[in-house]
Chains A and B, each alone.
Chain A
Amino acid sequence: MRRVGLAVGLSFLWLPILLLVGYAFSADRIPFQWGGFSLRWFAALAANERMLEAAWLSLRIAAGAATLAVLLGGMAGWVLARHGPFRGRAVFGALAGAPLVLPEVVTGLSLLLLFVVLQGWAEAALGWQVGRGAATVLLAHATLGLAYVAVVVQARLAGMDPALEEAAADLGAGPFTVFRTVTLPLMAPALVAGWLLAFTLSLDDVVVASFVSGPAGTTLPMLVFSQLRIGLTPEINALATVILALAGLAVGAAALILGRNGRRGPGAG
């Protein structure tokens, strides 16, 4: 009974994805119609300048946003997990959690309004004309990622014996050494997972990016979305297959690294 439920759910999740991957290799120009095996849509994708440009921009934004998110979110998660009550803790916790629960349209619109106001000030005060684009998308995505990283880091540290850091101090490690030799290595899996999560969120986001981006900042999801509004093309199938393969590789690599770290056995010392 339990297995049936699981099998049904997993099939529902995976069937469309597997069909999509299978038909990406079809030669037919109508998607999801078999016309013999062909790699022509991958070739078409590789020759699509706009798509490649958008993809390159998206990857750079995602990497930058994820890195910023890990730095800030790691700090936030550490403070929330390891430092007891302080003034403003409730406000801090609520702000760090807000991007997780705010609807995307609200996040997108409110961030855009902020950027508009800041642009207005920059222009009035400094005579400085700043446009919106990749930079504003990066700031928005870093904020979203920060919240996710903070949650992952906080959960990881909450499951860790606080006496570990005390033991390190007791054995003669100063505060910075405690952090470097104990806290950071134990946080590392959460930081890696958080980075991947923030990276994927950024690569996946249409709504927030559409609000805060400017004419110069068309990300890959924005481009794909505008095409999907018209209809599905085989090129998008091919693109989805590439993304899926990369995601699978990344998750596999992460699982391997994390798994090996956790299981490092005798003889490694």
Chain B
Amino acid sequence: MRRALILLPPFLWLLLLVAAPVAILAGIALSEPAPGVPPFLPPVSLEAGWQGSFANLLTLAEDWYYAAAFLRSLVVAFLSAAICLLLAYPMALGIASAREGWRVPLLALVLLPFWTGFLPRLGAWIGLLRDGGWVNGVLMGLGLTEAPVPLLYSDAALYLGMVHAYLPFAVLPLTATLLRRDLSVEEAAADLGATPWVVFRTVTLPLSLPGAAAAFLLVFIPAAGEFVIPELLGPPEALLVGRALWGEFFQNRDWPLAAALAVALLALLILPIRLFQRLEDDGGSRRAASPPSRSSGQSLDMVP
């Protein structure tokens, strides 16, 4: 009874503001655009009955323009996640093997940029990468190039921005996994004759794969629908799903097509999302099963 009272407010809230919107989104993806406010015909109405259509979803399947956007989004998300993982792994290993008192401050250093705001950091890259900017100054100063290289609004800038924004997300699950590992297993491997590199390759790395997968997906999933970073740093012509959706909604006012794009993006991401949640659940139960007094587990409590 008491539980129901506590469960009800968040449950109703989530039904209204998470479940209902997604259902409406799916409904509007099946509707026809029409002039007016809001600019679509509801797919089902009392007077006309069913008046929806699958035209929007068919458009996405048939028009190469959108297929290319999806493909490019997946490539960008995959590469961003891969680069983040490569950068994050040594960082996480460095934090996990640091002395006890250093771990939390080091982790805070990784996470603090997240608290400084996403837009200011992108602003910094705009300032650094423009033609007369700092990066070009350094390159010319080193004699690497004579004239400024166009860096801003390029693929390189896009990936720099993506990796800079999402790197902390990748470090966190990896650090948590590496902190939880049983060091005696590595000592056993060394005792059995494995060199440090072999210990890493045969023990540390395989045991940290669930954490690595979580880190990868934690970048991949939001990166696939990213809008702001490509808009501010990427090449203007680079078409990604997030931008296509934004354009259909704000510029073309084609809400049904934007909704169809969102539904298609969700369908595409459902598999990685399920995989991520499975990894989270496994990690969660492992955390719960380990004794609560383990300091390494608790040191992550205060950070998001």
Show the binding face of A for B, using Cβ within 8 Å. 1-10, 12-14, 16-17, 19-20, 23, 30-33, 71-73, 75-76, 78-79, 83, 86, 88, 92, 95-99, 101-107, 109-111, 113-114, 116-117, 120, 139-140, 143, 146, 148, 150, 152, 154-156, 158-161, 175, 189-190, 193, 196-197, 200, 203-204, 206-207, 211, 221, 224-225, 228-229, 231-232, 236-237, 239-240, 243-244, 247-248, 250-251, 254-255, 258
Contacts and interface: CB of A to CB of B under 8 A. Distances in A.
Nearest to B290: A159
Interface string B264-304: 01100100010011000000100110001000011001111
A21 to B, nearest CB: 9
Interface stretch (B52-60, B63-71, B139-147, B221-229): B221-229
Contacts of A203: 117
Contacts of A204: 117-119
A102 B25 CA distance: 13
A22 to B, nearest CB: 10
B72 interface: no
A255 B225 CA distance: 33
A48 B303 CA distance: 34
A103 B94 contact: no
Contacts of A95: 11, 14-15, 18-19
B187 to A, nearest CB: 17
17 contacts: A6-B91, A13-B168, A16-B125, A20-B120, A72-B10, A75-B7, A98-B14, A101-B273, A101-B277, A103-B224, A105-B262, A113-B255, A161-B292, A193-B304, A224-B123, A237-B123, A251-B108
B118 A105 contact: no
B34 interface: no
B21 interface: yes
Nearest to A140: B17
Given A243-B116, A247-B115, A9 B123 contact: no
Interface residues of B, number: 94
B115 A120 contact: no
Contacts of A20: 120-121, 123-124, 127
Nearest to B12: A72
A252 to B, nearest CB: 9
A72 B13 contact: yes
Given A13-B168, A72-B9, A232-B126, A110 B91 contact: no
Contact of A159 (B125, B225, B228, B287): B287
A5 B119 contact: no
Main secondary structure of the interface of B (DSSP, over half): helix
Contact of B38 (A16, A120, A237, A243): A120
B25 A113 contact: yes
Nearest to A113: B24
B186 to A, nearest CB: 13
A240 B88 contact: no
Contacts, number: 272
Contacts of A103: 221-222, 224-226, 242, 265-266, 269
B43 interface: no
A193 B262 contact: no
A120 B37 CA distance: 10
Given A17-B124, A109-B262, A200-B115, A5 B284 contact: no
A115 to B, nearest CB: 9
B292 A101 contact: no
B132 A16 contact: no
Contact of B123 (A1, A146, A232): A232
B128 A104 contact: no
Closest 6 CB pairs of A and B: A5-B90, A103-B225, A6-B94, A240-B120, A110-B21, A95-B14
Interface of B: 2-3, 6-7, 9-11, 13-22, 24-25, 28, 38, 87-91, 93-95, 97, 106, 108-110, 112-128, 130, 132-134, 163-164, 167-168, 171, 221-222, 224-228, 231-232, 241-242, 245-246, 249, 255, 258-259, 262, 265-266, 269, 273, 276-277, 284, 287-288, 292, 297-298, 301-304
Main secondary structure of the interface of A (DSSP, over half): helix
A5 B94 contact: yes
B196 to A, nearest CB: 9
Nearest to A74: B10
Given A32-B128, A228-B126, A244-B120, A13 B113 contact: yes
B129 to A, nearest CB: 10
Contacts of A116: 38
Given A76-B10, A258-B302, 13 more contacts: A6-B90, A72-B13, A98-B18, A104-B225, A105-B242, A154-B284, A200-B115, A225-B119, A232-B126, A236-B123, A237-B123, A244-B116, A247-B115
Given A9-B90, A17-B124, A189 B302 contact: yes
Contacts of A76: 10, 14
B229 to A, nearest CB: 11
Nearest to A236: B123
